[in-house]
């Protein structure tokens, strides 16, 4: 039975799906900081968000709250990871430029 009702689970699923789509699009926008495992994690995230949309009506409030907590930890961690990749790429590129000058 598929019972899709607009509840907080739909909002949580759409936020998670947007973050995962951003992770997919990172490969197109900045391929130098994208990694191969991003596709795997983004696919899992999109599967997770589709499960939340389809079966989220079964969640009682405490389970929904646990999903909110998991996502509130996961999203900033992903954001920090991507920022650190960009910083590491800039640092690595500047080190290569310094080594070429000598």
Token duo for residue 78? 């992903």
Q: What is the pLDDT at residue 1? A: 67
Query: Rounded to an integer, what distance in angstroms lies between the CA atom of residue 99 and that of residue 102?
Result: 6
Q: How far apart are CA 70 and CA 52, in angstroms?
A: 13
Q: What is the pLDDT of residues 8-19, one digit of tens each?
A: 889 999 999 999
Average pLDDT over residues 13-28: 90
Report whether 49 contacts 17 (CB < 8 A). Answer: yes
Q: pTM (2 decimals)?
A: 0.75
Whole-number Å distance between alpha carbons of 10 and 1: 17
Position 102 pLDDT exceeds 60 = no
pLDDT in tens, 41-99: 889 999 999 998 888 878 888 888 899 999 999 889 888 988 888 888 787 777 776 77
């Amino acid at each position: 039975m598929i019972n899709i009702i607009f509840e907080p689970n739909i909002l949580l699923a759409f936020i998670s799906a947007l973050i995962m789509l951003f992770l997919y699009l990172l490969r197109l926008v900045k391929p130098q900081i994208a990694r191969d495992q991003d596709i795997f994690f983004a696919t899992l995230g999109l599967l997770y968000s589709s499960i939340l949309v389809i079966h989220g009506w079964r969640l009682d409030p405490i389970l929904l709250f646990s999903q909110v907590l998991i996502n509130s930890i996961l999203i900033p961690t992903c954001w920090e990871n991507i920022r650190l990749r960009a910083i590491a790429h800039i640092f690595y590129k500047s080190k290569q430029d310094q080594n070429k000058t000598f």
